[in-house]
Structures are given as structure tokens and as C-alpha cells.
A and B are shown apart, each in its own frame.
Chain A
Amino acid sequence: MGVVRVDRTLRGAAAIVGVDDDVSPTGELDRTGRELEVAMVLGALEDAGLTLADVDGVCHAESAVAFAEYLGIHPVFTDSTMTGGSSYEVHVEHAAAAIAAGVCDVVVSVYASTPRSDRARRRPSARRVPPGPNPTLEWDLPYGLRTPMGPYALAAARHMHEYGTTSEQLAQIAVSTREWAELNPRARYRDPLTVADVLASPLQVSPLHLLDCCLVTDGAGAFVMTSAERARTLRKPPVFVLGAATCTDHMGISQMPDLTTTPGVVSGAHAFAMAGLTASDVDVLMGYDSFTITALLHLEDLGFCAKGEGGPFAAEGSLGPGGGPLAMNTNGGGLSFTHPGMYGMFLITEAVRQLRGECGDRQVEGADVAVAHGSGMLLSVMSTAVLGTEATM
């Protein structure tokens, strides 16, 4: 894929100054829709010590225009980028770029989805049909590949074929992630989990078992970003955007050139180059874990281990809270914490809280660098945000 660009820099120009999120161990929330989105925005602004009157930029993966109208504000910057679960990492990148360019000063991004209670209450769920010609309908859908797990199962099968990766190694990712969830009182699942438990859970689309797959829960969150200069005057310690980059590879899985290599190879290299850091500098990796294989691919493509070595790397159990070389998905991840459909917002809220030292029992001591790495659609769009404390500036 493309050449790494180092001429473009957003390093330290902007900072996340407020976050909020809402999840429940039951997996269900009372509020939904716009009410929940507004609550998240106001909560994140309160966290920052700002108000709606300060906001002049809005990001929303459906329509930032419609949401700005609902808020009753008149922003000079809107971004409705929708890349699936990585949308919120893309919003970090775009907001930082807009702030660095002087387009706007205070940007909010928000997400709320309540698929679990929608189902329980028989609310119509907001299912998105992509506009325009849809090759997936013509060339993929007739064959009954269940989405989303089917495409990820194909990636896992190919990774096993090329590199000898095993179901046990994938299962260890679910186990290490559950160990983090045990430390998070807001996580959906906190019971101890073993590799045997994962392997004994029903096969869905082989080689993926039920416990290789993320949850379906309600959830919501928001972040607020402003310039580094203004960030230093606000309520909480700023979390600086050190690097941010995105790469789009394909839309349908049959158009993915190499099922074992994601566009995270590009987004990660660009974001790290911008930050002037490498994987070895990362204290916390929030790597989108829609499935165990998704997280494994991030480990390889971001450079935490070599291509093909994600299985043995994960199997060492070094991703859990035991003080290993890499703390991954410290909130319990999409596998055990929450996953409302587009989970990328929670990568950001957790990364920010880790860098502020707000994570209680699961706090990674002295965390200065965190990466929020979002995976959108079917391994299609990867977006990497490298975040850091004042010490990294």
C-alpha cells in the first residue's frame, strides 16, 4: 500500500478535553436516540468545563447537520463521515485537522445506539442500506455469508492457513480481554473465562466460536476536542492528538486484496510517523475487537509483533492486566465490555481516561501514550489515533 507520509503533521495541535459514555452491565439503557446523544454531548462538555455555546464543530456518523439542528447550534464545521466502527477515530483525525487549520475551535463527536433494548422493546432498528449501486447484493449476498462475522471468519481461516494460527491462540485474546473486564464494574461480562470455555462455545461461522464474537449491547459516548492552547486552560488534563491517520481498503470482503493484512498497516504507520513514536512506545492499545481475529490483525499491522506472529504473541497472555508488555483493551473491549455496533467511540473514551489516570482498578500505571485503533465495516477502513499526555509533548 502507499508510501508513509511524514510531511503532514497534526502533532500536538489539538487535544481531547472532555469525554462521556453510557453503558450498563445489563447491556440495556433506558434512554435512546437523540435524548441519549444530547446527554453524551452535555456530559462531555461538562467534563471539559465547556458549554454548547462554545461548540462550533459537530461530527456525527449519520448527519452532523441534522444533529446540529437538533442541538440548536450553528457550527462552522460539520463532518458526517461514516466508516462503520472506525468513524470516531476518523472524527478525531478530521476534527484535529480542522482545528489545526483554524477552521473551528471546539468540536464534539457523538454516538448512541441501543440495539439490545430496541430488540427487547420491539422498536424498529435503524438499519442502514448503503446508497447507490451495491455490488455486495449482487456478488456476495446470494451465498449466505452471515455478516458481520462471516467475513472475519474468512480472514481467520486464511490467517490459519498462511501462518498456522490456532483457535486456541484466538481464544486467548478473548480470555485476556475478559481479565480486564473483571476489573471494570461497568462491563457486561465479568465472570472468569478460559480458553476451553471459548472453544466449547458454539461454532458460528467456523473457525469463529460464539465467544470469539463481540457483544450486542446498548451504548453511547461523546468526545470534545479543542486547540492545544485552549485545552491547557480547561478542567481536565489535555489528551493530545499526536498522530492520526486513516486508510480505506475495500467495502465488500471479496474485494479485500489480502485477508491477512488490513489497511491498518498504512493508517498505523502514518499515525506513528506523525507522532514520532513506534508501537514500543505504546502503554495502552485500544484495538477494535469486533472479533478475536480483528484484534490479532491489529497487533501485527500496527507493529506490536511481526506479520503472522499475532497468534503466539496473544497466546503468551501478555495482553491482559498481569503487567505484560502490552495492555490491550483495558475496558474489557467489544468482547466483554460493550459493543453497540460502531464501537470506536469507546476506544477513545477509555484511552482518554487511561491517560488521565481515571481508570481505578484497571489503571495502567504511568500511561503516557495510548492508541485508539478503529476498524470499520468488514476490515475495510482502519483509522489510528495516537494520543498522549502533556509528558509526550
Chain B
Amino acid sequence: MTTAHDDSPTRFEPPVGAESGPFWDATREGRLLVQWCTACDRGVFYPRAFCPHCAAPRSALEWRTASGRASVYAAVVEHKPEAARVAFSGGEPYCVALVDLEEGVRMMTNVVGCPPADVGSGMAVAVTWEPLSDGRQLPLFRPDAETGS
């Protein structure tokens, strides 16, 4: 496989949504935040201006620092990075997964740090960070050595 894409931007850099400023600001320090509803005691993802679980207003929502530990819900391997028009894997197959954070919310990510085909449902993972061009960092996940996988 070539790495001919290395000169191009390696990631689509996410826009900052109307409610997600604190999330992205915290990534600069390597902290993973989850929006939390104090009315129904549940996590909210993606960030919203109200609680989609109990309809509590914005005033009931706060930001909490997540543990960074998660469990893989489902994982796949992109075998044609060129067809996906991404360069971040250097042309190699990569894993895209949905992971369930310990705080009970689910997010999409890449699981890195192991062969992509080794990632499967139920695997324990922990957050790791990839710098973006503006100082923000993108949360990725890797196998969690402490809990084993």
C-alpha cells in the first residue's frame, strides 16, 4: 500500500455544533466530556439544547468528564480506503466502530492500536487522541490494556 495521500488533509475536520463547544474545547486538554441531564440522570449524546430522554431544559444539562472507557457495540473494517475517500489510514484498511461509553452513551470512532479485523463487539477500549489542525483533538479508541480485552 502507498502513502501517497500523506500530503492531503488526513481527516475531515468536524464542525463545532451549536451545543458542542465545551466538548471540543475540552479535547484540547485531552478530556472527554459527556453532556449529562441532572433531571433524569442520563447521558446525552450528541449534545443538545434540551434532554431528549426527559425533555428537561438546557438548565438541567451539565458537562461531566467521562472515564474514557468504553465497550465496542459494533465494528467493521473499511477495505477500500480510496473508495471511502479518506487518507488517515495511509491507504490501509481501518476499523470504524460504535462504542458505548461507561456513561451510557454511544459514539462513532476508529479503534486503533491493533489490527482492524481484531476489533469486535464487546471488546474493552479506552480513549486516545488524534490532533486536529486547529488544536482540537479527535477522540479515537484503542484496546484497553487495564481491563484486558
Per-residue interface assignment for chain A, residues 142 to 181, with 1 indicating a CB less than 8 Å from any chain B CB and 0 otherwise: 1111100010011101100110000000000000000000
Most A CB contacts (10 A, CB to CB) among B74, B83, B88, B121 go to B74
Q: In the docked arrangement, what's the CA distance between A259 and B97, Å? A: 12
The residue in chain B whose Cβ has the minimal distance to the Cβ of A209 is B79
- Secondary structure at the A interface, as helix, strand, loop or mixed, is helix
| Chain B residues, Cβ within 8 Å of A259 | 73-74, 98
A145 touches B79 (CB 8 A): no
Assess whether A139 is interfacial by the CB under 8 Å rule: yes
The residue in chain B whose Cβ has the minimal distance to the Cβ of A257 is B106
Assess whether B148 is interfacial by the CB under 8 Å rule: no
Knowing A154-B74, A206-B79 touch, does A144 contact B84 (C-beta < 8 A)? yes
Knowing A144-B78, A145-B96, A146-B78 touch, does A138 contact B121 (C-beta < 8 A)? no
Partner of B138, one of A142, A205, A253: A142
| Chain A residues, Cβ within 8 Å of B14 | 137-139, 141-142
Q: In the docked arrangement, what's the CA distance between A188 and B80, Å? A: 24
Assess whether A254 is interfacial by the CB under 8 Å rule: yes
B84 touches A146 (CB 8 A): yes
Q: In the docked arrangement, what's the CA distance between A141 and B76, Å? A: 15
Assess whether A203 is interfacial by the CB under 8 Å rule: yes
Assess whether A133 is interfacial by the CB under 8 Å rule: yes
Q: In the docked arrangement, what's the CA distance between A205 and B78, Å? A: 4
Q: How far is the CB of A199 from chain B (nearest CB, A)?
A: 14
Contact-residue bracket for chain A: 20 to 34
Partner of B46, one of A138, A158, A161: A138
A144 touches B79 (CB 8 A): no
Q: In the docked arrangement, what's the CA distance between A140 and B12, Å? A: 10
Knowing A143-B108, A145-B108 touch, does A158 contact B121 (C-beta < 8 A)? yes
Assess whether A135 is interfacial by the CB under 8 Å rule: yes
Assess whether B91 is interfacial by the CB under 8 Å rule: no
| Chain B residues, Cβ within 8 Å of A153 | 76
Q: In the docked arrangement, what's the CA distance between A253 and B107, Å? A: 10
Partner of B79, one of A139, A140, A202: A202
The residue in chain B whose Cβ has the minimal distance to the Cβ of A158 is B74
Contact-residue bracket for chain B: 35 or more
Q: How far is the CB of A335 from chain B (nearest CB, A)?
A: 19
Per-residue interface assignment for chain A, residues 222 to 256, with 1 indicating a CB less than 8 Å from any chain B CB and 0 otherwise: 00000000000000000000000000000001110
Assess whether B40 is interfacial by the CB under 8 Å rule: no
Assess whether B16 is interfacial by the CB under 8 Å rule: yes
| Chain A residues, Cβ within 8 Å of B74 | 154-155, 157-158, 161, 259
Assess whether A207 is interfacial by the CB under 8 Å rule: yes
A158 touches B73 (CB 8 A): yes
Q: In the docked arrangement, what's the CA distance between A157 and B16, Å? A: 30
Q: How far is the CB of B98 from chain A (nearest CB, A)?
A: 6
A144 touches B20 (CB 8 A): no
Most B CB contacts (10 A, CB to CB) among A153, A206, A207 go to A206
| Chain A residues, Cβ within 8 Å of B36 | none
Assess whether A9 is interfacial by the CB under 8 Å rule: no
| Chain A residues, Cβ within 8 Å of B58 | none
Assess whether B68 is interfacial by the CB under 8 Å rule: no
Q: In the docked arrangement, what's the CA distance between A220 and B112, Å? A: 43
Residues in A255-269 with C-beta less than 8 Å from chain B: 255, 259
| Chain A residues, Cβ within 8 Å of B110 | 143-144
B73 touches A137 (CB 8 A): no
| Chain B residues, Cβ within 8 Å of A155 | 74
Q: In the docked arrangement, what's the CA distance between A170 and B46, Å? A: 32
Q: In the docked arrangement, what's the CA distance between A250 and B134, Å? A: 31
Q: In the docked arrangement, what's the CA distance between A33 and B16, Å? A: 36
Assess whether B104 is interfacial by the CB under 8 Å rule: no
Q: In the docked arrangement, what's the CA distance between A173 and B44, Å? A: 38
Knowing A137-B14, A137-B15 touch, does A144 contact B94 (C-beta < 8 A)? yes
B73 touches A144 (CB 8 A): no
Most B CB contacts (10 A, CB to CB) among A137, A143, A155 go to A143
| Chain A residues, Cβ within 8 Å of B86 | 144
Residues in B16-46 with C-beta less than 8 Å from chain A: 16-18, 20, 46
B76 touches A161 (CB 8 A): no
Knowing A137-B15, A138-B15 touch, does A161 contact B122 (C-beta < 8 A)? yes
Q: In the docked arrangement, what's the CA distance between A144 and B110, Å? A: 8
Q: In the docked arrangement, what's the CA distance between A203 and B79, Å? A: 6
B107 touches A139 (CB 8 A): yes
Given A137-B12, A254-B108, 11 additional A-B pairs, CB 8 A: A139-B14, A140-B108, A143-B108, A144-B84, A144-B94, A145-B96, A145-B108, A150-B76, A204-B83, A255-B46, A259-B74
In order of increasing CB-CB distance, the 5 nearest A-B pairs are A144-B86, A161-B121, A146-B84, A158-B74, A153-B76
A-side residues, CB < 8 A to B, are 133, 135, 137-146, 150, 153-155, 157-158, 161-162, 202-207, 253-255, 259
